Amino acid sequence: MFGKKSENSGSGKFADKLSIIANGAVFNGDIKTEGNLRIDGKIIGHLNISGNTAIGKTGIVEGDIFASVLKISGTVKGNIEASDKLILDSSAVIEGDVKANILNVEDGAVVNGKIEMHAKPSPESAFRLPESSGSTEKKALPQSTQTGK
């Protein structure tokens, strides 16, 4: 659904299944699926999607979204948690907090909320602080004696 296929493109036997909320359709209620979901209409409710989710330019979601891979071109009024990847197109508008392992944001996308990244660094690339010399003493900076005259 998002171009190239990968091992994370959906889950299990439902990976090739696609549900569509078409432009002009309004759905009230929560949606949970192991397949993929495309939203071009409006959903008022929470989403729990194991597969890929795409919200088109005309798509609106008023509720929280939990998805593996999520691509947004429309509007979301709620919190978002993408366990794998979140892609925000230039037309995306998010009114809520965002949590993602990988976040791609195009110029023009709007996020009015907190963003948290939870990528797991590889052991080779993990940032390490240098060993302390054992001294915790703070040194004062010298104060200027000039008054500017």
- pLDDT of 16 reads 75
Q: Which residues pair with 33 in a beta bridge?
A: 49
Compute the average pLDDT of residues 11-36.
Answer: 86
Dump strand ranges (E) for the chain. Answer: 18-21, 26-28, 31-33, 36-39, 42-44, 47-55, 60-62, 65-72, 75-76, 80-88, 93-94, 98-105, 110-111, 115-117
**Dihedrals phi, psi of 58, to nearest 5 degrees:** -90, -5
Residue 76 has pLDDT above 90, yes or no: yes
- pLDDT of 118 reads 74
Q: Which residues pair with 19 in a beta bridge?
A: 37
- pLDDT of 134 reads 55
Mean pLDDT taken over the chain: 82
Residue 9 has pLDDT above 80, yes or no: no
List the Cα angle 100/102/107 in 5-degree steps: 100
Longest Cα separation, the chain: 79
User: Per-residue pLDDT tens for 56-71?
Assistant: 999 999 999 999 999 9
Residue 99 has pLDDT above 90, yes or no: yes
CA 8 – CA 68 distance, rounded (Å): 8
Compute the average pLDDT of residues 74-96.
Answer: 97
- pLDDT of 27 reads 96
User: Per-residue pLDDT tens for 111-142?
Assistant: 999 999 875 655 554 555 555 555 555 555 55
**Amino acid (1-letter code) at residue 36:** N
Residue owning tokens 């939203």: 39
Residue owning tokens 């110029």: 107
- Domain ranges in the chain are 18-105
Please say whether the beta carbons of 90 and 53 come within 8 A: no
